[in-house]
Chain A
């Protein structure tokens, strides 16, 4: 259930400028509204795109979120590769890596 709320936070950040402003002004206050696990909240605090991927955040919303947080395309792909090597396979959702995360157009 917390993954649902984590994804909802990112979904709302992606499409609502007001939520983006709240994120910029007082990230902790915004996070408190979504009742995330500590692991999820820490990944958001650190802009840890790779960890968010491993936690199971849907790739489409994570891709847009990463762009908003300033990740260039190659940095975004590399962040997921690095996290896969560090944490292992994606824990939930439909965006699990295949072929041990090899390949990709970087």
Chain B
């Protein structure tokens, strides 16, 4: 089988924690685009959903920080944050240990990925799941890229990570959906939270929808920090999904700044079009 769905979306905790404070004129169409993504995901009939998220020091710390990690358990739990703060109740989320093991084995042929049989989901995964699988009933394979503790993996390696995920999907019998989550430009968890570089976001998504590998991987971290904030380092998760969709192009379903969510709310999909 193969990759049956590939998309990207924002994951800011404000999407659930501060929903009522967002401008409805922007928030509601954003949520409608997420609903459209949920429907497209369901229609792809995935056996499992792989979520490529940004490490937020929820599971790994600087005593042993993997550039890439994939979960390998039959269940996970989350959110790690105060559930009342995030407004997502604590729960167990199904995993797929056997499938994870086989995905990891194939990815390892190209990328030295760490694996983890324990994983606490933070907002980076829980917020997307709350929109895409609101019953939390689809087995999840969490994946993680270090976007917090420099030195960070080069962008071209993030693209290669996505290509390795795609190669794994291509040889496994299960139907696997892939969602990358992260901000584009943002300055989260600072006094500037809510600052967004709209033009930078649009340019990035233009590169993403064209699946222009060279343009996507041309940003230096210094440029990203200057123009897109430290939150911009999370583009690695989005670039990985582009790598998984190499040879395909994408569509932007929504992208507008929502300052109380700390980022642009965005939804985009890569047209991977499985033939079955």
Contacts known (A60-B57, A94-B225, A95-B189); A68 close to B82, Cβ less than 8 A: yes
Question: B150 contacts the other chain (Cβ, under 8 Å)?
Answer: yes
Question: A15 contacts the other chain (Cβ, under 8 Å)?
Answer: yes
Question: B43 contacts the other chain (Cβ, under 8 Å)?
Answer: no
Contact B82 A104 (CB under 8 A): no
Contact B58 A77 (CB under 8 A): no
Of A61, A73, A77, A103, which one neighbours B17 at CB under 8 angstroms? A73
Which of chain A's residues have a CB closer than 8 A to the CB of B191?
Answer: 77, 80-81, 84, 97, 101-102, 104
Contact A64 B81 (CB under 8 A): yes
Contact A60 B189 (CB under 8 A): yes
How many B residues have CB within 8 A of the partner chain? Answer: 36
Question: B46 contacts the other chain (Cβ, under 8 Å)?
Answer: no
Of B13, B61, B259, which one neighbours A11 at CB under 8 angstroms? B61
The residue in chain B whose Cβ has the minimal distance to the Cβ of A96 is B190
Contact B189 A63 (CB under 8 A): yes
CB distance from A95 to the nearest CB of B (A): 5
The residue in chain A whose Cβ has the minimal distance to the Cβ of B230 is A94
The residue in chain A whose Cβ has the minimal distance to the Cβ of B152 is A94
Once bound together, how far apart are the Cα atoms of A94 and B233, in whole Å?
Answer: 11
Which of chain A's residues have a CB closer than 8 A to the CB of B17?
Answer: 73
Question: B262 contacts the other chain (Cβ, under 8 Å)?
Answer: yes
Question: B94 contacts the other chain (Cβ, under 8 Å)?
Answer: no
Contacts known (A15-B120, A95-B189, A98-B229); A60 close to B56, Cβ less than 8 A: yes
CB distance from A74 to the nearest CB of B (A): 10
**Which stretch from B2-10, B109-117, B159-167, B192-200 is at the chain A interface?**
B192-200
Chain B binding site: helix, strand, loop or mixed by DSSP?
loop
CB distance from A69 to the nearest CB of B (A): 10
Contact A103 B194 (CB under 8 A): yes
1/0 contact string of B197-230 vs chain A (CB within 8 Å)? 0000000000000000000000000000100011
Contact B195 A98 (CB under 8 A): yes
1/0 contact string of B15-58 vs chain A (CB within 8 Å)? 00110000000000000000000000000000000000000111
Of A8, A64, A67, A77, which one neighbours B193 at CB under 8 angstroms? A77
Which of chain A's residues have a CB closer than 8 A to the CB of B62?
Answer: 4, 7-8
Contacts known (A60-B148, A73-B18); A102 close to B80, Cβ less than 8 A: no
CB distance from A21 to the nearest CB of B (A): 16
Question: A88 contacts the other chain (Cβ, under 8 Å)?
Answer: no
Once bound together, how far apart are the Cα atoms of A56 and B17, in whole Å?
Answer: 25
Question: B187 contacts the other chain (Cβ, under 8 Å)?
Answer: yes
Binding site for B on A (CB under 8 A): 4, 7-8, 11, 14-15, 53, 58-64, 67-68, 73, 77, 80-81, 84, 94-99, 101-106
The 9 A-B pairs with the shortest beta carbon distances in the complex, nearest first, are: A59-B189, A105-B194, A101-B191, A105-B259, A60-B56, A67-B85, A63-B189, A94-B230, A105-B260
A–B Cβ pairs within 8 angstroms, 10 of them = A7-B61, A11-B57, A11-B61, A60-B57, A64-B80, A81-B191, A94-B230, A99-B195, A103-B194, A104-B194
